[in-house]
Amino acid sequence: MTDILTDRTTASASGPADGPGTGDAAAFPTANGRATARTGGRATSAGAGRATSARTTGEEGRDRATGRRRLDAARRLRTLTGVDEELLARVRYERSKYTALGGVVLGTSVIAGFSMWNFATEALGRVSVAALVPTVIWMLFVLNLDRWLVTPQPNARRRVGPLLTRLLIALLLGAVIAEPLVLRIFQTAVEQHVADERTRVVDELRTNLVRCNPVPSTTRTAVPKGCGTTYILSFGATPGEQAEELAALRSDATTLQKRVDVDTTRLEAIDSEVRDECRVLIRMASTGLYQRTSECRRLRDKARDYRTTHHTGENEKRLAGMHSRISGIEAGLTSSRTAFLKTRADGIERRLDAERAKQKEIGALERIRALDELASGNAVLFVGIWLVRLLFVLLDVLPVLVKYLSGETAYDRMLTGESNSAVKIHSEEVRLAERRAMANLEIGQDAIEQEVRRHRVESEAALREHTATMNIRVRQAVNALQDEIRRSSTV
């Protein structure tokens, strides 16, 4: 096309240049003035023609360079489709189709490279130059695989098995490529869900550690239900022993307090009777003096005997000692409990720090699981995720779909014809080589048989010659002997 446009430009440029020359030749026999004027015009026209020609040549060179670059780029794109340029040159109108198909293959490989870049950076947890290595390898692999998938095959329309195999490979490849891209699109939601899930795990661990490590009230504290060795912390000392002693002391103090209360109540009743009775004074008839009644003295003796028999004073002193001891144990228990709570809090924080240390950068599997959890909890998000996933799968399968849904082209038919012709030619060449080999074998066999027959004939002739020679010798010997006998008999 560029050559045709160049020829037209050259023809249009040469037309005006030739026109003045023709006019000058016709006007040459005219008057001198007119001829001189036309000679000057001819010189001017020639200069303009040369300038126009030079300008046209420069534009032609630029057009050719531009066209060459376009053809080189288009040829490189068509190379990705696996077509034969010599065969495709016979159907030029299909070049644009295979050029576009090459662009689709290149675009799919670029998408695959971007997908691998996202996957590698997510696996490494940061953007690194090392991610370029798997990205380039994966991009070239997908590029060559798509090139193999869309490469025209002779008699491909008649074979369903290879077509289905290629479509299945394209679907699987598309599913692998689409997943990192889907994770990239929903990156914000996925990372937020992972952060919330990690916070929930840490909070749940803190709750279980607090529940499974309560402040012990005795030395033998039962393990709470659902608490295994995972949530049990080890402590050097616990306030359980002091708690047991305090509980026993409180129980004894309560029992003694009840007894003291009963004794105190009884003594108060007796003392009240004593006061009431001893307040009354009676006058003695013999002496005329006032004195206490005998009942007063009896009640006083009763109160004194009650205190002696029930040990009320000792019990009260003992109870006061118990309360003092309880106060001391409670103070020690409070400090011990405070130390225990601090130790437990430190242990829980260490476990939480260890759990947080495990929660490093968000990995690919964690992202996939988070995306599935998000999709399972929201129908709209589920549909959106699968639509995006199917879109990328469709983009990755697009080269194969474009190739096999466009129908059989003239190039495919020509390729099939050339392939069948090449197969027939090869078959005939094989048959010809086979026949030539068989002929050579037959010729060799005939030559061997002839050689055998010749050797046999020569052997038989030599035998006959030898036999004849021997017969002649025998005959000569016999004749000589006969002659000798004759001579002997004659003598």
Q: What is the pLDDT at residue 287?
A: 67
Which helix (H) or strand (E) element contains residue 290?
A: strand 290-292
Burial (0-12, 13-18, 19+ Cβ within 10 Å), 187: middle
**CA 415 from centroid of its chain's CA atoms:** 39
Burial (0-12, 13-18, 19+ Cβ within 10 Å), 255: exposed
Q: What is the pLDDT at residue 15?
A: 40
Neighbouring residues of 197: CB distance < 8 A, sequence distance ≥ 6:
370, 373
Number of other residues whose CB lies within 10 A of the CB of residue 482: 10
Q: Give the residue among 138, 136, 139, 162 at the shortest CA–CA distance from 149.
A: 162
Tokens of 223: 């393990």
Cα distance between residue 123 and residue 111, in whole Å: 18
Tokens of 364: 């690919």
Cα distance between residue 318 and residue 255, in whole Å: 12
Give the three-class secondary structure for 136.
helix
Token look-up 């994770």 returns: 183
Q: What is the pLDDT at residue 446?
A: 92
**281 bridge partner residues:** 292
Cα distance between residue 313 and residue 431, in whole Å: 135
Which region, left, alpha or beta, applies to residue 288 given φ > 0 means left and ψ of -120 to 50 means alpha? left
Q: Would you list the DSSP string of 144-179?
A: HHHHHHHS--TTGGG-HHHHHHHHHHHHHHHHHHHH
- Dihedral (CA of 461, 466, 467, 473) sign: positive
Cα distance between residue 372 and residue 361, in whole Å: 19
Cα distance between residue 343 and residue 236, in whole Å: 9
Q: What are phi and psi of 130, to 5 degrees?
A: -60, -25
Cα distance between residue 118 and residue 134, in whole Å: 11
Token look-up 């995306």 returns: 371
Helix axes 2-27, 32-79, angle to 10 degrees: 170
The torsion of the CA quartet 41, 47, 53, 59, rounded to 10 degrees, works out to -120
Q: What is the pLDDT at residue 468?
A: 92
Cα distance between residue 83 and residue 152, in whole Å: 7
Question: What Å distances lie between residue 311 and 303, 314, 459, CA to CA?
Answer: 12, 5, 159
Cα distance between residue 103 and residue 109, in whole Å: 10
Q: What is the pLDDT at residue 71?
A: 63
Token look-up 């003035």 returns: 33
Q: What is the pLDDT at residue 30?
A: 37
Tokens of 330: 């409670």
Question: What Å distances lie between residue 328 and 16, 22, 300, CA to CA?
Answer: 126, 136, 39
Number of other residues whose CB lies within 10 A of the CB of residue 259: 15
**Amino acid making up residue 320:** A
10-residue mean pLDDT profile of the chain (491 residues): values are 39 39 37 40 46 52 57 84 86 88 90 87 80 91 86 69 73 80 84 87 86 65 67 64 70 81 80 77 66 76 79 78 77 73 83 81 79 83 84 82 78 86 92 93 92 91 91 90 85 66
Q: What is the pLDDT at residue 237?
A: 56
